[in-house]
Structure 1
């Protein structure tokens, strides 16, 4: 029998038989994994097993290749914060959907896990959430091997006047260095590089750039998959929030 215990964030739940469910979690030391929770559809456990919940989990199976089963203990719920606010609900759904799609199975990503927990703990704080989510997408790209290098111009090496991002390399390009290629480059709002105005409008511009790399680099590297619709719903909610 193979067993492990860890702390985890619940990403998804789906029915399994009449009374059980299959849950997918992002665990601190064990990455993304799935297992059966017996009685997970019961009145006692169903309210606990909501996406975004922070859990203490124990997984066991006869063989490592088996689906296995979970026993879970709630640490804290985030459903109340999410359900009470449209932006928070959209954010929670986007984070869970992206992680469920792009995380390799059973591979630890400790820095991204910590970032995710910190981000989800901000649910309900509409003033902080959009910028925190932008930083999380940047961390997601970095952890998955597609980090943006916004430190200096790829063409000239200067560190000032950076205005674009190369869609091929993910490196910054200055206005002077772009030349006649400017219309083929992605925008580099100052907020994306860690400065400038952090208005929702500027954050949305920055998310357009991170979104390009999520779609055309990260997700495309996984095969025939598409960006989860939940991400666009989050962008729409940020736009409505102004």
Structure 2
């Protein structure tokens, strides 16, 4: 087996005295794991930071053998780790990807979306510029793994008018008239989630509450402790940045 492809570093786990197992997201081959010699050394450590874009080569003699991996840095996002909010967003997005996806299953749309999200975090001066991209990435991941939300029509009336909430049980949208008797029991549906475009801090926070509910319930039920903490740190920092707390 031999794979040569651009990849996004999504995780690293020490293995042995000097090496580590790196988890890489590729477009055509999905999530791939490989052993990197000297990964804990001074030269390699900066290359294997989560969120970095690398040119990766993975090779193994048999399909059951852990591949040997070599990487060359294409784009470093290490400087973002000095900023608490971007660092928390990169930590969460890459950890979510590495945890939720099956090994070697291609998800080209998720690869492109994750690459675009990381680029937006790098480019935007504020989380208000990339917060919507994070919500859309989480929605896409849910959909790609079979847990997509139905936000096109009202679960009760079947119409597409004035949709303002989502049922936390069914994941279906609810119109304003039908949502009124259940105030406080439904999840808010920010307009940007359905209509696109940018959004303010409150809408972004509501979008993350929406996706977070279904991620933790449907995808991360057995793994939510550590990941839940990472996501809580991100949401708390985002709320503080937007003056919501």
When the two structures are superposed, what TM-score results if normalisation uses the length of structure 2? 0.90
**What SS does the aligned partner of 1:137 have?**
helix
Number of residues paired by the alignment? 237
1:15 equivalent in alignment to 2:9: no
Distance in 2 between the 1:183 and 1:43 partners?
52
Counterpart of 1:193? 194
Counterpart of 2:140? 139
**How far off is 1:197 after superposition?**
7.3
Distance in 2 between the 1:114 and 1:196 partners?
19
Give matches, 1:207-218, under 5 Å: 207-218=208-219
Give matches, 1:168-179, under 5 Å: 168-178=169-179
Distance in 2 between the 1:27 and 1:164 partners?
35
**How far off is 1:142 after superposition?**
1.4
Counterpart of 2:84? 86
Counterpart of 1:76? 75
When the two structures are superposed, what TM-score results if normalisation uses the length of structure 1? 0.91
Give matches, 1:41-80, under 5 Å: 41-80=40-79
Give matches, 1:155-174, under 5 Å: 155-174=156-175
Distance in 1 between the 2:147 and 2:236 partners?
25
Q: Which runs of 5+ in 2 are unaligned?
A: none
Mark the CA change 1:196 to 1:129 in structure 2 (over 3 Å): closer, same or farther: closer
Please tell me whether the aligned partners of residues 78 and 123 of structure 1 are also in contact (alpha carbons under 8 angstroms).
no
Please tell me whether the aligned partners of residues 166 and 172 of structure 2 are also in contact (alpha carbons under 8 angstroms).
yes
Mark the CA change 1:180 to 1:123 in structure 2 (over 3 Å): closer, same or farther: closer
**What SS does the aligned partner of 1:48 have?**
helix
Mark the CA change 1:196 to 1:60 in structure 2 (over 3 Å): closer, same or farther: closer
Counterpart of 1:239? 239
Q: Which runs of 5+ in 1 are unaligned?
A: none
Distance in 2 between the 1:70 and 1:197 partners?
39
**How far off is 1:102 after superposition?**
0.4
Distance in 1 between the 2:190 and 2:71 partners?
43
Counterpart of 1:149? 150
**How far off is 1:35 after superposition?**
1.0
Counterpart of 2:99? 101
Counterpart of 1:3? 2
**What SS does the aligned partner of 2:154 have?**
coil
**What SS does the aligned partner of 1:204 have?**
helix
Counterpart of 1:219? 220
